[in-house]
Structure formats: structure tokens, C-alpha cells
Structure 1
Amino acid sequence: MSDSDPYGLFTRVIDRLEALGVPRLHFAEDDWDNGTPLPMEWRQAWREWFRGTIIVAGRYTVERAEALLDAGLVDLVAFGRPFVANPDLPERLRRGLPLAEFRANSLFGGGPAGYTDYSAAAFTG
């Protein structure tokens, strides 16, 4: 999305959604290599204005997710592509294991390749 005043636009939308009693917001953030991260000041302001659940997604690492969760700026962090490539993502994150990279060229290809052919990690103990 492109807007001459994204902060103002999002702020007006969030204010309206809060007034309507919408229970949750889900921000799909820039997740491409040169994407612009949301400024912390924006996150802090929106957290103050919106009382519902805030969910974010967009190329998050465990460290980045935990930092926002610990700061109380978000309630949930979604991991989309990592789940595609790591059918055992929660266990990998719990154990600090490396993540398999998803194969972008196989996404939306119309077949199972790239969705069901990733292996789970070998767990011991």
C-alpha cells in the first residue's frame, strides 16, 4: 500500500475500528528485502489507542517477535512462510533449531511441491 500519510491513515482507521468494537487488528507488514519497518512510535501509539488484540506478520524472527511481545506492543505474531517450510515450527523455535528456508519459486504453483514436501527436524531427547 502506498499513501502520502500512512500514519494518519492507519490512525484514523484504527480509531474507527476501536469505536466499532472490532476485537482484533492484523497487520501484514512489509516482508520484502527493502521493506520499511513500522516505526516503534507508531506501534506504541496504536497500542495505546486500540484495546483489542494486535496481531502482526511479516518476516519476523523469534527475537523480533519476543521483543514486541515483551514490550506489550503486540499480542500475537504470525509466522506464515516459516510454517510452510517447517511443519514442526513450534518445536524448532522451542529448541532453537535452524529453520528450513521456503522455496518461493514453488509457492502458488498449483501442486503439492513447496507445501507438503518439507521435512521435519530430527529431534533427540
Structure 2
Amino acid sequence: MGKKIYLEKCAACHGETGEGMMGIYPALSGGIGSLATTTPLRTVGSFWPYPESVLDYVRRAMPLNAPQSLNTDDLYSVVSYLFYMNHIIPQEFSLNEKTIHSIKMPNKDGFINEKEENINKNTPRDELRSRLGICLHP
């Protein structure tokens, strides 16, 4: 069901396989392991640290031409398909409000909380970003 919804509501902008379109609409799949390289690809699979964040973003902002138009079943179906495209869950996984918390995103540990004691407060944010290839939380 998620693939059908994706092809109807998402593929026009993000491509049939989530590859992105025309340099305007971002890729949604691929890029795992690329964030620390010189050519990072920020996708659902490579960048987002929490599955709930993906669900919330899609719920609030997508599809671009009709945000907040997906009903709950369609929302979970299309997000499930995004996770499947990124090899995060198997095809038969049933995504819902209970199972979403069990998903481990590939970049789960890629964000740094600056309040953690192991961060050198004297290291500039840009230097940390370039060294680690990750996003820093405020």
C-alpha cells in the first residue's frame, strides 16, 4: 500500500525510487554512510536519527502541494515504504504507533548533544561538523 501511495503522491517530486528530482526535490533513499564524506547525501536512511521525526515531518509538510492531507493509514503506509526503500525495515514490517519506536535508524547516533560532557566546548561547531560530518543539536 505504501508504494502505491508513494507513487501517487511523492514520486512526481522525489522520483520513482526516491532518487530526487531536478536538483530541487531531495533524494529520499540511499546515502547511508555518506555524511562524513565530501559528497554527503542526506536522505531518510542516511540523515534522520529518529523514525518519529520522519513520520512527523511527512504528516505536517507532505505532500508539498497538499500538506497534512494524508490520513493516518496512508501516512504510516508511505513512511513504512520510505523505511523499506532505505533497507531499514523488511517489507512485511507493520508500521504503526506502537512499532515505530522499535525502529533503529542508521544515523541514530550521528547527532551530538552539545550538553554532553565529552564535547570540548572550545571546539568550534563548524570544525566539529566538518570532522564528523554530522549535525549538532543546539
User: What TM-score, normalized to structure 1?
Assistant: 0.30
> Quick check: which has more Rg, 1 or 2?
1
Which fold has the larger relative contact order, with Cα–Cα distance below 8 Å and residues 6 or more apart in sequence? 2
Which structure shows the higher strand fraction?
Answer: 1
Which structure shows the higher helix fraction?
Answer: 1
